[in-house]
């Protein structure tokens, strides 16, 4: 199994904060590219994620990831 390429830093913007797995479904908007990065564990042992998203002003077909 091959992994998707890591997006270039100038293509995606990081959302502030860290998110639990069950919160990710509330963030996702259709037709945008997302990148989720492991960000360690919360004090209760729940995994946390940093979220990067394609900016709203960048059309889905634009950029280096297709």
CB 54, CB 35: distance < 8 Å: no
The pTM (predicted TM-score) of the whole model is 0.71
Q: How confident is the model over 2-46, as pLDDT tens digits? A: 766 666 667 889 999 999 999 998 988 887 888 899 999 999 999
Inform me whether the pLDDT recorded for 51 exceeds 80.
yes
Q: pLDDT band for 54, please (50, 70, 90 cuts).
A: confident
The domain ranges of the chain are: 9-57
Phi first, then psi, for residue 50 (nearest 5°) are -90, 140
The predicted pLDDT at position 64 comes to 47
- What would the two tokens of residue 22 be? 């069950």
Inform me whether the pLDDT recorded for 59 exceeds 60.
no
Q: What angle do CA 20, 39, 4 make, to 5 degrees?
A: 95
Inform me whether the pLDDT recorded for 60 exceeds 80.
no
């Amino acid at each position: 199994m091959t992994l998707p390429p890591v997006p270039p830093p100038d293509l995606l913007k990081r959302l502030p904060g860290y998110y639990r797995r069950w919160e990710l479904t509330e963030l996702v908007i259709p037709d945008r590219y997302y990148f989720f990065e492991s960000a360690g564990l919360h004090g209760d042992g729940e995994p946390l994620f940093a979220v990067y998203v394609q900016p709203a002003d960048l059309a889905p077909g634009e950029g280096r990831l297709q």
